Amino acid sequence: MRALCLPFFALLLLLVNTGAQAIVLVAAELPPYVIQSSHGKPSGVGIEIMEEAARRLGEPLTIELMPLPRALTQTIHRPDVLMIPPVRSSQREHLYQWVTPILDEQFLIVSDRRFHPKALKSSDLKNLDVGVLRYSFGQHLLKQRIGIRGETVADEQLNAHKLHRGRIDAWVAAWNVILYAQQQDKRSSQQLVRGEVLMNTQLFLAAHKDFPFKQAQRWQAVIDEMRHDGTLARIIRQYNYQAPE
């Protein structure tokens, strides 16, 4: 009897081992790309893009939400994960496998028109208090371009609040992040003055350096397909996302 059972258990083990394994997506909490919803299920333009890609690939997707600094670190140390939505930069180039761009974005300086009604330039910032998200690409730009660290916060909505209160003179971040944080702080975008654009760039789907290359190619191909058939544009429109012109 024991001998008869062995083939059955071997077959069962094979079926379990060859089943679809959930892809782990490390998602940095950066609204509107990745939003921690009140009911627990994450949302955001980046999340919707990845969920649609996973549906087309027929692969389960496990989403792990975490702050940006932790997401960046986790992806360096976990070879089985994908990550959204980092900016590809010279500083990060060697740290990750850059699978494919998912969104176009623009980093710029903004001010509150009550305090700084004229558009600010990068040359103005050395003598001003500048708000920036800790460990963000905006902070990297400030240091690289202007040589200042800025006043860092853990949440961009704090920058919206501080700008309104006059506690900072300028705010450097991605434009769509600024718009979302301003909305969440119940402030009008008309209150903002757009200053110098520091960089037009792209947000990426990235992975650990040792993430399987063929698997990464499948994700790249399906997101390219979504770009060409208009799915990306449809998802972006739902979030009133403003891509750089």
Burial class (CB in 10 A: 0-12, 13-18, 19+), 182: buried
What local confidence, expressed as pLDDT, does residue 204 receive? 98
What totals of helices (H) and strands (E) does the chain contain, helices first? 8, 8
Query: Within 13 Å of residue 26, how many CA atoms lie on the same side as its CB?
Result: 23
Q: What is the pLDDT of residues 194-231, one digit of tens each?
A: 999 999 999 999 999 999 999 999 999 999 999 999 99
Class of 104-198 per CATH? alpha beta
Q: Which residues contact 117 (CB under 8 A, 6 or more apart)?
A: 193
For the chain, the average pLDDT equals 91
- Residue-wise pLDDT tens digits, 182-197: 999 999 999 999 999 9
The CATH architecture assigned to 22-102+201-237 reads 3-Layer(aba) Sandwich (3.40)
- On the question of pLDDT at 2 being above 90, the answer is no
- In this prediction, residue 21 carries a pLDDT of 66
pLDDT tens for 10-22 read: 334 333 433 456 8
For the chain, where do the domains classified as CATH 3.40.190.10 start and end? 22-102+201-237, 104-198
pLDDT at 40: 74
Helix, strand or coil, per DSSP, at residue 48: helix
